[in-house]
Chains A and B, each alone.
Chain A
């Protein structure tokens, strides 16, 4: 009996953590095949943690409010890119440039986040697909601004930012005077591994903010809305407003995260940097064991480590196994999409299972009552 319950526990654990376990297995197989040294791998993972964690943390707030995975974080990324293009043209460099870009992204993010939140309020229960489509729609507006309005309407002075035709922004905007300024401001080298202390401190502050925020009145409201909107409404919570605030917060934080991400990369791919950022951040979060309705800071850290280990080793492992590195490249893109699909299927299956379990329990209770009568 004891053994059976232990076995059940293990099965439950595997069932609940199937995605992280799958990724651990992939990493365990691919790391030795790739042939990368431990110091190289750790260096790469630490760099990517600093680059991505802030972006992924911004997904936690909408999950708390029951709005699922916020594909609309792309809007925050667009806001950050607009801000960085302007800052780059104004020639504000270094840390002041990064801070200015963050501040400048706030109004763009608030406007876009409010718009997204209002639309999502009209599509309750289908937030994820709606936010995904909103990001496509907003990408069109972004391209209109960047391709046609920057130059003639929004003044852009420098030829290294502007297209040679006189309007529109170049495919790639150089951020050489901001590149890794944040990461290098307080950096420590331990055994050949560069640790961007300041970036991690900023991430730490955001983690503390999220922990604190959960305990505030607004945080409690969001959790109540996330659990049951009708009950929350009956309790006097303004559900619509709370949901909009959660999306606005997520978008603003995504904007900050994108500035951190791009300063690390050192250039903006004007028309593509933002396009898949949501997809990859969500995939990383899900790899960490999060689900549509439950995510924690631990999931973010675990997800970034596992997902990026796979990202680093997959092309080389693919090249070693098949002789073609493109296989590895496709493999990691395929895995990213696949893990989102798998998580959504698992979530839906669990939801249906628990619903049918509740139904069965109700039926049994009714039957028992009838028998008693």
Chain B
């Protein structure tokens, strides 16, 4: 009886920890969102970028984009909220509005084309995956491999 109870407690503890870990994996997924203030061509139509867009995330300004420029912000979780301050033409009035985007969990870097998004196009038109260009490192990193014993300093501890 005692053993069964202990086993049940152990299984319960493992399940609770697994559930917490799963929740953390979902809510803690980090993304880098890139904002493109660039011309978009979709369905034979051209969408021109506004003259200037200022992007705020979490109340902080993360990018100030003129036409043809790209900015970025990092976010945790799939619900991304941004505030855009848009100036359509030079010297024109500025409008400020909050937008919410549902980010796909599987993508690390997400490119959002602002003219397409503001025009209300379908998601596949303005959202794409950011694929970083991996540059070959000229020198290999030195990793442990020798059999020497070193008395190393920990540096900052």
Contacts and interface: CB of A to CB of B under 8 A. Distances in A.
Contact of B154 (A164, A170, A171, A276): A276
A147 B143 CA distance: 8
B153 A333 contact: yes
Nearest to A168: B143
A92 B140 contact: no
Interface in A100-142: 100, 103-104, 106
Interface in B104-152: 108, 132, 134, 136-137, 140-144, 151-152
B28 A93 contact: yes
Interface in B1-52: 17, 20-21, 23-25, 27-31
A100 B132 CA distance: 26
Contact of B74 (A48, A52, A106, A177): A177
Given A91-B30, A177-B30, A177-B74, A99 B24 contact: yes
B142 A96 contact: no
Contacts of A171: 141-143
Interface size for chain A: under 10, 10 to 19, 20 to 34, or 35 or more residues? 35 or more
Specify which of B137, B144, B152, B157 lies most central, judged by the most chain A CB atoms within 10 Å of its CB: B157
Contacts of B27: 96
Contacts of A329: 153
A73 to B, nearest CB: 14
A370 to B, nearest CB: 54
Nearest to B22: A100
Specify which of A94, A104, A277 lies most central, judged by the most chain B CB atoms within 10 Å of its CB: A94
A33 interface: no
B76 interface: yes
B29 A91 contact: yes
Specify which of B25, B30, B132, B137 lies most central, judged by the most chain A CB atoms within 10 Å of its CB: B30
A164 B138 CA distance: 10
A97 interface: yes
Contacts of A104: 21
Nearest to A308: B157
B24 A92 contact: yes
Interface in A67-99: 90-97, 99
A90 B142 contact: no
A38 B125 CA distance: 58
Contacts of A95: 28
B100 to A, nearest CB: 20
A94 B28 contact: yes
Interface string A321-350: 000000001000100000000000000000
A272 B152 contact: yes
B17 A96 contact: no
Interface in A207-247: none
B124 to A, nearest CB: 23
A95 B30 CA distance: 11
B30 to A, nearest CB: 4
A280 interface: yes
Contacts of B142: 171
Contacts of A91: 29-31, 108
Interface in A269-310: 271-272, 275-277, 280, 308
A89 to B, nearest CB: 10
Nearest to B154: A276
B24 A147 contact: no
A103 B24 contact: yes
A280 B153 CA distance: 11
Contact of A100 (B28, B143, B144): B28
B141 A276 contact: no
Specify which of B74, B142, B153 lies most central, judged by the most chain A CB atoms within 10 Å of its CB: B153
Contacts of A94: 28, 30, 76
Contact of A271 (B21, B137, B144, B157): B144
Given A170-B141, A276-B157, A277-B154, 4 more contacts: A48-B157, A92-B29, A159-B132, A276-B152
7 contacts: A91-B31, A92-B24, A96-B28, A147-B143, A177-B76, A275-B152, A329-B153
| Chain A to chain B: the 10 pairs with minimum beta-carbon distance, closest first | A96-B28, A93-B30, A96-B24, A100-B24, A92-B28, A164-B137, A103-B21, A91-B30, A276-B154, A94-B76
